[in-house]
Chains A and B, each alone.
Chain A
Amino acid sequence: MPLTDEQIERYSRHIILKEVGAKGQNKLLKAKVLIIGAGGLGAPAAMYLAAAGVGTIGIADADEVDLSNLQRQIIHGTADVGKAKVKSARETINQMNPDVTVNTYRTFVSSENIRELIRDYDFIIDGTDNFPAKFLINDACVMEKKPFSHAGIIRFKGQLMTYVPGEGPCYRCVFKNPPPKDAVPTCKQAGVIGAMGGVIGSLQAMEAIKYIIGKGQLLTGSLLTYDALTMEFHKIKLPKDTHNCPVCGEHPTITELIDYEQAECDMK
């Protein structure tokens, strides 16, 4: 589909990049990305993907905007407090870029709905705040053969990795099983610096964009960690051997999705 004059101008800083060009921009406009969780990570990810002209953005979140969200969830404003996050996010994106179709799903993901939800999308962004959801997203993406970006943030730290089917370990290869409730501090108990969502959520958007345009190296087979206090990024190379993994390995023992007990961050 040829770009309109307005699109050529809007995306001119993309089109001028040899890695993107009109061809890459067209790929972005045709791409469908699902963001699960419209919070600290999902907000900046959604906004950069919308600005980049990703043609279809799905947003799944059951929550409403709370005043304590606004320190980091920049897709929502003060006037949105009390509004469904998916509605508030859609309004912001519509205002940013009319090229983007926004699909909203006001729901928590579960074993019942997630496979159907992700099936329609090219790339999934995990912007959730709890381990049951993170394992659910991983397992569903492995089963549906969907690439996704995992990320987590806490205090002054963040990390992310990318899973692409057949190209390296999944989240479960690394972390095996969710930790028991309250065994590992969550963001409400521990706090998180607001800009951390901006750093890591933007990196998730970057991974989605690189995957869509097919350029550069993804964080497949690596976990990138970021410490804001020491201002250090560290890329951990992950073991290549995935054959023993209970979900993405050669003889998977997890063949049905699991709804682990919600030990969520409870951070409205």
Chain B
Amino acid sequence: MEVDIKKIDAILEEHGLEKRWLIPSLLAIQNTYNYLPPEAMQRVSERMQVPMIQVYQVASFYKAFSMEPRGKHIVTVCMGTACHVRGAERLVDQVGRVIGIKPGETSTDYQFTLETVNCLGTCALGPVMVVDGKYYGNMNASKVDRVLNRYMKREGEAHG
């Protein structure tokens, strides 16, 4: 995706240019591009007058940030304790098998990224996964196909 400097400037302007707005601004940029494009980080550094090394340090410290492009659909599987005792490991294995990638990876066609997280706060319904912001509770291996199929099909339809 082409990075539009004007868009980055608008985000920065909206938040403010003091250093305390660095993390919120980076989160907003990531929401727009699904990752932190290098050009965007460069622009942030210039406009906020924060050395590039510090922007990079923040981007690499916080796990919410990705410096690699991510897939169109983001699948997040909770590996928190409550989900762990209810079989999160099996869930993530199964999701990985269905979309053919391991946690932390993006499929080569950039359709899916599989991520894990330490708790989504819906522990009562564990194991839990989220696809593009929609929560799926009480998951098990047999439900995985059904849920993910929806996202794959949508793809198929879009391309005719």
Q: Do A and B bind each other?
A: no
Q: CB within 8 Å of B: which residues of A?
A: none
Q: CB within 8 Å of A: which residues of B?
A: none
